[in-house]
Structures are given as C-alpha cells and as structure tokens.
Chain A
Amino acid sequence: MADVRVEGLRRQFGSLLAVKDISFVFPQEAVTCLLGPSGCGKTTLLRMIAGLERPSGGTIRFGDRDVTALPARRRDVAMVFQYPVMYRTLSVIENIDLPLANDRTLTPADRRRRVEEVIEILELGDARRLHIDRLDLGSRQKVAVGRAIARRAAVTLFDEPTTNVEVHAKLALIRAFKELRRHVRQTIVYVTHDQTEAMTLADQIALMRDGEIAQCAPPRELYDEPNSEFGGWFLGNPGMNFLSSRPAQGGGFVVDGVPFPLIVPPAGLEDVRFGIRPEYVRIASAPLPDGVSARVLRRAVAIGGQHLVTLAVGGSRIKAKVAPAVGPSRGAPEIGAEVFVVCPIEHAMLFHRGERLADPPRRLASSPGGAG
C-alpha cells in the first residue's frame, strides 16, 4: 500500500485542458473522493492514476515508485468500474480469487483467507458458488468491490460504481463499502458526482471544478467551511443562498434579510456576497429580533418532511429549510403570506469574486439594534 502523489499532472484533449496541472497527495489508507459536476476532470484524473489514460504532462508516484510511464497492469492497481467487469462463467468465489492467482507471493491458504474475508463482510455467503450470471447488477457490483478490496493493491480505484444500480442496491453497496472499510484499510480514490455518496464514504473529499481541485477537506468541513461560492453551492440540497450587498448610508454594507449594516471586511472591498445555508434561515409569522419582513413565494416538502420555503426579501430570494410543526397542518406558511425572516450572521460567510473571505460578517458597531 502506498500514498499517491501526482505532480503537475495534466491532460489535454485537443484544445480542451481536462486536467490542469494538478499537484496533490492522496494519503495512504484513506478514502479520497473526487467529487464534481460532469466535465470537471475527475474521471480523467482517476484514469491517469489507473494507467488507462496517458498524461500530457506531470508525474504520478505510488509511494516512492514513479509509475507515470508504467502500463496499468504493472502499477499494482485494482479498479471498480461503472459496470461490473466479471467472468460470466465463473462463480462468485472464483471471480474474487482470480486476480489473487496472479500474485505468486500468496499461498493457497492466503488466497482462501482473503476471499473468505470479503465474502463474509459483504454477506455473500449464500451466493458464493453461484455463477455471476445468476446475480443482479447490484450484487455483481458488490462482488466487484469485494474483488478489488481482496487484491490489497497499492491503490484501489472506484469509478462511479453505483451509477447504474437501482436505489436499494446502491444503498446496499454503500453499506458494504463502509463495512469493508472498517476491516480493511487501503489507499482508495473514489470518483462520484453524487454529493451524498461522497459525504457518506469519504475520509476527505477533493472537490473538482474545471480540471482543478477547488478544495480538499473532510466531508463535514467541506460542507461547513466552503472556500468558494462554488463549494457552498455544490454541496447541499438545495445549495447555499448568496445575497448581493450594497453600501449602507452610514458606512458598511447591507444585504437583504439582515436589518442592520455589516462591516466590510478588508475596507473598501466591493461586490461582497453574503452566503447562508437554507437550514440556518429562520422564519416566524410575527416580528422577531433581527427579523426582516418577507413574502412567501412558494414552498415545497423537502427531505424528511421539512418545509422548503422560498422567500422574496427586498430584491432577493432566500431559501429556508424549516422543521415542520407537530400536528396535521404542520405549520406550513401560506404562499403569498408575510413572514419575518432571520439570517443569523453567526452562520453566514462572505465571498468576493467567488472566493471566501477570511473574515466573517460582523454587525457594524455604530449600527442601531434589530428592527424587530
């Protein structure tokens, strides 16, 4: 097992620079998810690590070993693809065992132990002797995951393995992956466009955009502390609210949804945007401290029965996610109704030209108290 170090790695397709000089370390024994929208370069990066795509420049090392020029089969990588690649005429056990047979350092007993380990963790015991053809797509993909893990390769790679399985099988696959991780620690690079999957599986997420790694952090940190508007928007369902600012008369700046002026972080900065996640926005039917009058534009039922309320505040739209009240009516605000909204500034962050500012928004000291 090894860490993966890429240095100045790039890949050009004609005029398109798919991967732009990425330098990055995938730590040993950690699951790093490459997450991003389609076309961000995550799959190209993975395929270069696998040896399936030739870099246009840069180097790839597994530990001390420079593998840049090596073909895939000599890199010691295991890989799981979008569709399970299996020997159809072989059984579950035989499929998992087959790659191990090429490893001369393993005794038959070693091989059996490794195969049995993943069979047990994946709860494939009942299917062990079945031909792969007898399994549904989700179970086959589970076998593919097991086979890759059993290899104990220097690096194990996953290319959107849950994309083509139905929702229950996907959940089973994610659970199996987590279960395997508890027992076997490997260096894993996992590509997905699904934020929930990345947040659920990863030790750290490398969020990609336009051929670059925009930010890399553990899931919770990436969600709580995005370093850009892109990060705040990409993670979350729905993503972060962004509100434009304008200079206030007595100094500082104001945004819709906040009744008092705020400090401009480095003085003189313009075009500052105020970001707040929908779950921190509060709504009440009566005026409340630091509240601002707003109109309910629409509402929907969100994950877990929350109300997802879209508010018109000044010239802006703010989305709020609020827990339903108990009881049959569940306290959903009426469309068109006036409500009072609070955007707590302790949960807000500021951005300038898409980048996060280090300073959080603060109330201008000379400003009067809340409007409510």
Chain B
Amino acid sequence: MSQIRFEGLSKSYRGAFALNGIDLDVEPASLTVFSGPPGSGKSVLMRILIGLEAPSAGRILFDGQDITLLAAAERSIGYVPQSFALFPHMSVFDNIAYPMALQGVPRPEIAARVDQAAGMLRIRPLLSKRPSQLSGGEKQRAAIARGILKNADIFILDDPLVGLDFKLRESLMEDLKDMRAEIGATFLYVTADPLEALTMAEHLVVMDRGRVVEAGPVDAVYYDPTRLRTAELVGFPRCNILPGHLDPTSVVCITAVGALRVALEDGAVPSEAVVAIRPEDIAPAASGTAPLGVGEVTLVENLGSESVVYVRFGETTLVTTIPGRATVHIDLGDPFPFTIRPGGPILFDRASGRRIGRTTGVPAEMQDG
C-alpha cells in the first residue's frame, strides 16, 4: 500500500498561489476527504497528484520515493473526474472497461468486474448504450465505475456525487465506502458539501485558500478543532461563531448570548476571543430552569429525525439542532428560551484563530440573575 506524502507543495498561476506549501501525509488504506470552499485548492492538489499538472515547488512521495516528475500513466491512480470525460464513440461498457483494457486485464475478468460495478451502481441496463443516450446522473455513475475499476491502490474521486438526487447520493455513498473497504485501497475524496464530507470521511483534510487548515481523523477534526477556520468550515448545519471578550480574570467570556465560563488551555490570555458553538450545543432550556436567553424562532427546518431551528437573539441569529419530535409545536415567531451545553463550545484567539480553551458552563450568579 502506497503511503502518499506531500512536501512543501505549491502551485501558482501567474503569481497567484492556488496551493501554498502543502505538507501532508495521507492515511493509507483509508478514505480521506478533502473539503473546503470553492477555490480552496482541493481539485488542483488532486490534479497534481494524478500528474495532470506539475507543481511550482515541492515534491510528492509514494513510500518515500519521489514521483513528482513521473508521468501520469506511470502513477497508477484510479480517477473519477469532476467532468465525466466519457468517450462518446464507445459504449458504456467499453468506457468502463477502457482503463483495465489498457492495463492488459484479461477479457473475462474485465467483463466480470464491469458487471459487478454496474450492478452496484445500478447501470447494468445501460452498458450497451452510448454516453449521449444517458442522463447526467447515469453518465456520472458510468464515470465512477470506470474510475474505480482500474487496478490501482490509490483512487481519486473529485466531487463524484455533485448534482445527483439526494437519495441516490445516500446509497452511492454507502456503496463507495463498501467498495473501498473491499479493495482496501486509499481513497482521496473531494467535496465542497459539508454533510457529504462528514458522512464519507474516515480522515478529513480541511483546505482553505491553498493551504491545509487542519487534518486528522474526522471525529477529532469535528469535535476538537484546533483552528477557528475548521469550526467555520466543518459541520452541518454550520457552527455559530460569536465574538467574545475575555474578562480580566479569564474565567468568563462575554458574548452576545451572555457570559460563558471558560477553561483556558495554556498561559496565553488574549482579551479578544471567538466562541464557536455547534448547533447541537444550544438546547431549549428545560421548563423551570433559568434560560441563558430567550430568542425568537425565525425558521424551523424539518429534517425528520431532527430539526434545525433558527433563533434570532438580539443582533445574532443562532442555529440550533434539536430532535424532530421536540419541534412539532414550534412555530415562527415563538419565543425560544435556550441554554448552552457546558463543555461544548470552543474558544479561539481572535487574532491567530488558534484554539485557546473550552467553555465549561454558565456562571451561576449570571444564571440566577
């Protein structure tokens, strides 16, 4: 299994950096999602890895061996591009079989593997058709089949499910995870969709403006981000980001939703902080308890098992998730007394964006007041 390492990898176009000093080890035999907003450099990094573009600086190592200058054909990477790039004059079957045929895989084996993948991707009836006869979603699935059937242990999937029906995406995500587990390969998976990133990732690489903001196992990145930008970019629904002012005693942080007790991680005590509050860390206050504040409901998005409730509180709109059953009777304009779960919200230094601590609760005296 190849261990992929990027070292000081940069790419500039006419002086503008698309990638700016990427140092990263990709976990072998795992599914790593590269996520970030459009233009963050995810796709450029993939194109360089596969050999479609050369970096401006830095190297790529496979098992310690420098492959930066190796031709694309010699890298043996399976690739599902964003654009489907199917050959129009070939049948769907031949399109899918093409990379294996190039690799000299025997014909019966090709037929068996195409059939298996076509079954999984529900395109068996389409194998004799031409790409021009397929819908967008069908072309996409043909392109996925072609990319993943190559004999390789590294596969790049560049936003493979974009634009597909919601339910089709749900089942294809499951199938792709099964496929990866079955062949034990390294998958590098690009998406700009925050929920897809979390659903797919074993490891998560958060990218922004040509740099890696943070990388690690998906739970660590989601629950314990070390960078403010990570909290902003990772999560669905999006994280609440509130400016805060640390009290000189540094045990409370004053924010728009009130004072929060904090535990700082190290000696540094900046006065200006930012608090990142995940939607699930804001909860309706239990009746009979003093809420931290009372906001007004501006929208309830019903997802079935959970609801996303948007709550206006002063100048701030808070995003919260609560179990769907609990929101049946909540309507627009209703008062929403809320509290914040202790231990959830994370504190960042506003200037550096680094994590400096966690909130531990709401000061008792403020709660009583």
Contacts and interface: CB of A to CB of B under 8 A. Distances in A.
Nearest to A235: B304
Interface stretch (A6-14, A241-249, A301-309, A359-367): A301-309
B303 A237 contact: yes
Contacts of A235: 304
Interface residues of B, number: 46
A107 interface: no
Interface stretch (A265-273, A285-293, A325-333): A325-333
B133 interface: no
A327 B341 CA distance: 10
A239 B299 CA distance: 24
Contacts of A326: 341-344
Nearest to B333: A182
Interface stretch (B81-89, B141-149, B197-205, B254-262): B197-205
Nearest to B346: A328
A305 B299 contact: no
A300 B198 contact: yes
A316 interface: no
B199 A308 contact: yes
Contact of B343 (A37, A277, A323, A327): A327
B74 interface: no
B218 A196 contact: no
Given A37-B165, A37-B167, A223-B324, A304 B279 contact: yes
Given A174-B301, A196-B303, A303 B237 contact: yes
Contacts, number: 114
B280 A304 contact: yes
Most-contacted residue by chain B among A237, A301, A308 (CB, 10 A): A301
B149 to A, nearest CB: 23
A142 interface: no
B222 interface: yes
B304 A195 contact: yes
A194 B166 contact: yes
Interface string A85-100: 0000000000000000
A332 B221 CA distance: 13
B132 interface: no
A306 B219 contact: no
The CB with the most chain A CB atoms within 10 A, among B305, B306, B308, B333, is that of: B305
B328 interface: yes
Interface residues of A, number: 45
Contact of B223 (A37, A277, A302, A330): A330
Interface in A1-54: 37-38
A236 B332 CA distance: 23
A142 to B, nearest CB: 15
B219 A237 contact: no
B21 to A, nearest CB: 28
Interface in A259-298: 277-279, 298
Given A171-B299, A279-B305, A305-B222, A300 B278 contact: no
Contacts of A252: none
A21 B207 CA distance: 51
B140 interface: no
B363 interface: no
A195 B304 CA distance: 9
A239 B167 contact: yes
Given A301-B198, A301-B218, A303-B321, A182 B302 contact: no
Interface of A: 37-38, 171, 174-175, 178-179, 182, 193-196, 199-200, 219-220, 223, 233-239, 277-279, 298, 300-306, 308, 321, 323-324, 326-330, 332
Enumerate the 9 nearest inter-chain pairs by beta-carbon distance, A residue then B residue, closest first: A304-B321, A199-B302, A279-B305, A301-B198, A304-B280, A305-B280, A223-B304, A326-B343, A236-B304
